[in-house]
Amino acid sequence: MIPSPDNRPEETDMELIDRWKAGDSRAATRLVGRHSQALARFAASAGEREGIEELVQDTFVRAFASLDSFRGESSLRTWLFTIERRLMLDRRRAERRSRETVPVEESDHVSEYGALDSLIAEEAQERVRRSLDALSPTQREVFTLRVQQGLSYKEIAEIVGSTEGAARVHYHNAIQTVKEFLRDE
Protein backbone atom coordinates (compact mmCIF):
# COMPACT_ATOMS: atom_id res chain seq x y z
CA MET A 1 0.00 0.00 0.00
CA ILE A 2 1.16 3.51 -0.88
CA PRO A 3 0.04 6.34 1.40
CA SER A 4 -2.05 8.83 -0.53
CA PRO A 5 -1.96 12.59 0.14
CA ASP A 6 -5.04 12.32 2.35
CA ASN A 7 -3.33 9.60 4.40
CA ARG A 8 -5.63 6.95 3.00
CA PRO A 9 -3.73 3.86 2.00
CA GLU A 10 -3.58 3.71 -1.78
CA GLU A 11 -3.49 0.38 -3.47
CA THR A 12 -0.43 -0.52 -5.47
CA ASP A 13 -0.65 -1.38 -9.15
CA MET A 14 -0.18 -5.06 -8.37
CA GLU A 15 -3.00 -5.02 -5.85
CA LEU A 16 -5.30 -3.36 -8.36
CA ILE A 17 -4.30 -5.91 -10.99
CA ASP A 18 -5.19 -8.73 -8.63
CA ARG A 19 -8.53 -7.10 -7.90
CA TRP A 20 -9.28 -6.72 -11.59
CA LYS A 21 -8.41 -10.36 -12.18
CA ALA A 22 -10.83 -11.23 -9.41
CA GLY A 23 -13.59 -9.48 -11.36
CA ASP A 24 -13.53 -5.97 -9.91
CA SER A 25 -13.92 -3.61 -12.88
CA ARG A 26 -13.36 -0.56 -10.66
CA ALA A 27 -9.76 -1.65 -10.31
CA ALA A 28 -9.34 -1.21 -14.07
CA THR A 29 -10.78 2.29 -13.82
CA ARG A 30 -8.27 3.13 -11.08
CA LEU A 31 -5.37 1.77 -13.11
CA VAL A 32 -6.37 3.59 -16.29
CA GLY A 33 -6.94 6.81 -14.38
CA ARG A 34 -3.55 6.48 -12.74
CA HIS A 35 -1.51 6.00 -15.91
CA SER A 36 -3.49 7.32 -18.88
CA GLN A 37 -2.27 10.93 -18.77
CA ALA A 38 1.35 9.85 -18.50
CA LEU A 39 0.87 7.69 -21.57
CA ALA A 40 -0.78 10.57 -23.42
CA ARG A 41 2.06 12.92 -22.50
CA PHE A 42 4.64 10.39 -23.59
CA ALA A 43 2.88 9.93 -26.92
CA ALA A 44 2.62 13.68 -27.44
CA SER A 45 6.23 14.30 -26.54
CA ALA A 46 7.33 11.44 -28.75
CA GLY A 47 5.89 13.28 -31.72
CA GLU A 48 2.37 11.88 -31.93
CA ARG A 49 -0.12 14.58 -32.80
CA GLU A 50 -3.17 12.66 -33.87
CA GLY A 51 -5.06 9.79 -32.35
CA ILE A 52 -3.32 9.94 -29.00
CA GLU A 53 -6.46 8.91 -27.17
CA GLU A 54 -6.86 5.89 -29.44
CA LEU A 55 -3.21 5.07 -28.89
CA VAL A 56 -3.63 5.20 -25.13
CA GLN A 57 -6.78 3.12 -25.39
CA ASP A 58 -5.04 0.51 -27.54
CA THR A 59 -2.18 0.42 -25.06
CA PHE A 60 -4.52 -0.38 -22.19
CA VAL A 61 -6.51 -2.93 -24.18
CA ARG A 62 -3.33 -4.76 -25.10
CA ALA A 63 -1.90 -4.47 -21.62
CA PHE A 64 -5.01 -5.80 -19.92
CA ALA A 65 -5.27 -8.62 -22.43
CA SER A 66 -1.80 -9.78 -21.51
CA LEU A 67 -1.60 -8.87 -17.85
CA ASP A 68 -0.68 -12.45 -17.02
CA SER A 69 2.64 -11.88 -18.75
CA PHE A 70 3.39 -8.87 -16.54
CA ARG A 71 5.58 -10.24 -13.79
CA GLY A 72 6.10 -7.02 -11.88
CA GLU A 73 9.85 -6.95 -12.48
CA SER A 74 9.50 -3.40 -13.71
CA SER A 75 6.85 -0.89 -12.76
CA LEU A 76 3.49 -1.13 -14.52
CA ARG A 77 4.02 2.31 -16.01
CA THR A 78 7.33 1.27 -17.55
CA TRP A 79 5.62 -1.78 -19.02
CA LEU A 80 2.79 0.39 -20.38
CA PHE A 81 5.31 2.77 -21.96
CA THR A 82 6.98 -0.21 -23.63
CA ILE A 83 3.66 -1.33 -25.11
CA GLU A 84 2.74 2.17 -26.19
CA ARG A 85 6.11 2.71 -27.82
CA ARG A 86 5.72 -0.49 -29.81
CA LEU A 87 2.28 0.65 -30.95
CA MET A 88 3.68 4.00 -32.00
CA LEU A 89 6.39 2.32 -34.04
CA ASP A 90 3.81 0.05 -35.67
CA ARG A 91 1.62 3.01 -36.43
CA ARG A 92 4.49 4.96 -37.95
CA ARG A 93 5.52 2.06 -40.07
CA ALA A 94 1.96 1.55 -41.26
CA GLU A 95 1.22 5.14 -42.03
CA ARG A 96 4.69 6.03 -43.35
CA ARG A 97 3.83 9.57 -42.73
CA SER A 98 6.33 12.40 -42.79
CA ARG A 99 7.92 13.60 -39.61
CA GLU A 100 6.79 17.12 -40.11
CA THR A 101 5.31 18.71 -37.05
CA VAL A 102 1.59 19.07 -37.09
CA PRO A 103 0.33 21.81 -34.78
CA VAL A 104 -1.48 20.50 -31.78
CA GLU A 105 -5.19 21.20 -32.03
CA GLU A 106 -6.86 23.35 -29.47
CA SER A 107 -9.12 20.52 -28.46
CA ASP A 108 -6.07 18.48 -27.56
CA HIS A 109 -4.95 20.85 -24.90
CA VAL A 110 -5.62 19.67 -21.42
CA SER A 111 -7.58 21.70 -19.02
CA GLU A 112 -5.10 21.19 -16.18
CA TYR A 113 -3.97 24.79 -16.48
CA GLY A 114 -6.20 27.73 -16.69
CA ALA A 115 -6.75 29.54 -19.98
CA LEU A 116 -4.61 32.52 -18.97
CA ASP A 117 -1.69 30.34 -17.93
CA SER A 118 -1.94 28.47 -21.20
CA LEU A 119 -1.80 31.66 -23.22
CA ILE A 120 1.21 32.96 -21.34
CA ALA A 121 3.07 29.72 -21.58
CA GLU A 122 2.08 28.87 -25.11
CA GLU A 123 4.86 30.65 -26.94
CA ALA A 124 7.61 29.26 -24.76
CA GLN A 125 6.11 25.82 -24.86
CA GLU A 126 5.80 25.91 -28.61
CA ARG A 127 9.52 26.68 -28.82
CA VAL A 128 10.27 23.77 -26.52
CA ARG A 129 8.12 21.44 -28.61
CA ARG A 130 9.96 22.52 -31.74
CA SER A 131 13.26 21.91 -30.01
CA LEU A 132 12.13 18.37 -29.16
CA ASP A 133 11.22 17.84 -32.79
CA ALA A 134 14.82 18.61 -33.64
CA LEU A 135 15.94 15.51 -31.76
CA SER A 136 16.32 12.07 -33.25
CA PRO A 137 13.41 9.72 -32.40
CA THR A 138 15.45 7.80 -29.82
CA GLN A 139 16.90 10.95 -28.27
CA ARG A 140 13.42 12.41 -27.94
CA GLU A 141 12.05 9.26 -26.36
CA VAL A 142 14.90 9.05 -23.86
CA PHE A 143 14.81 12.75 -23.09
CA THR A 144 11.07 13.03 -22.57
CA LEU A 145 10.90 9.83 -20.53
CA ARG A 146 13.66 11.19 -18.33
CA VAL A 147 12.52 14.79 -18.02
CA GLN A 148 8.76 14.63 -18.37
CA GLN A 149 8.09 11.24 -16.82
CA GLY A 150 10.99 11.16 -14.38
CA LEU A 151 11.96 7.59 -15.20
CA SER A 152 15.35 6.21 -14.31
CA TYR A 153 17.94 5.44 -16.98
CA LYS A 154 17.44 1.76 -16.27
CA GLU A 155 13.70 1.99 -16.90
CA ILE A 156 14.25 4.04 -20.05
CA ALA A 157 16.74 1.50 -21.37
CA GLU A 158 14.12 -1.19 -20.82
CA ILE A 159 11.45 0.76 -22.70
CA VAL A 160 13.57 1.71 -25.71
CA GLY A 161 15.36 -1.64 -25.80
CA SER A 162 18.81 -0.22 -25.14
CA THR A 163 21.40 -0.09 -22.40
CA GLU A 164 21.56 2.21 -19.43
CA GLY A 165 24.82 3.72 -20.69
CA ALA A 166 23.35 4.39 -24.12
CA ALA A 167 20.34 6.05 -22.48
CA ARG A 168 22.66 8.40 -20.56
CA VAL A 169 24.50 9.32 -23.77
CA HIS A 170 21.20 10.01 -25.52
CA TYR A 171 20.13 12.22 -22.63
CA HIS A 172 23.34 14.30 -22.74
CA ASN A 173 23.16 14.72 -26.51
CA ALA A 174 19.49 15.63 -26.32
CA ILE A 175 19.85 18.35 -23.71
CA GLN A 176 22.74 19.80 -25.67
CA THR A 177 20.65 19.92 -28.85
CA VAL A 178 17.64 21.42 -27.08
CA LYS A 179 19.78 24.11 -25.45
CA GLU A 180 21.39 25.04 -28.74
CA PHE A 181 18.00 25.16 -30.46
CA LEU A 182 16.53 27.44 -27.80
CA ARG A 183 19.60 29.74 -27.90
CA ASP A 184 19.40 30.08 -31.69
CA GLU A 185 15.66 30.81 -31.76
Partner 1 sequence: MNKCMERDIQEMLPDLLHRTLAADARERIEAHLATCDKCKEDLEVLRAVKAAAIFAPSIDVDRVVRQIPPYRKIVPVREIPARSRAVAWLVAASLAVVVAGGGSVLLLQQNQTNRRTAIIHDPGVQQTAAGPESVGPVVVRGGAPLQPRINTALPHAHALALVTDVEGLSDTGLRQLMNDMDRFDALPAAEPEPVISVDSGDSLDQDTR
Judged by CB under 8 A, does residue 134 bind partner 1? no
- C-alpha separations of 146 from 30, 31, 32, 54, 151 in Å: 24, 22, 22, 24, 5
Q: What is d(CA 56, CA 70) in angstroms, rounded to the nearest whole number?
A: 18
Judged by CB under 8 A, does residue 81 bind partner 1? no
Judged by CB under 8 A, does residue 36 bind partner 1? yes
The answer to whether 155 and 123 are in contact (CB under 8 A) is no
Judged by CB under 8 A, does residue 67 bind partner 1? yes
Span near partner 1 by CB under 8 A; candidates 5-13, 54-62, 77-85, 87-95: 54-62
The SS3 of residue 23 is coil
What phi and psi values does residue 10 have, to the nearest 5 degrees?
A: -100, 135
Task: Give residues in contact with partner 1 (CB under 8 A).
Answer: 20-21, 23, 25, 28-29, 32-33, 36-37, 39-41, 43-45, 52-53, 56-57, 60-61, 64-69, 104, 107-113, 121, 124-125, 128-129, 132, 143-144, 146-148, 150, 153, 168, 171-172, 175, 178-179, 182
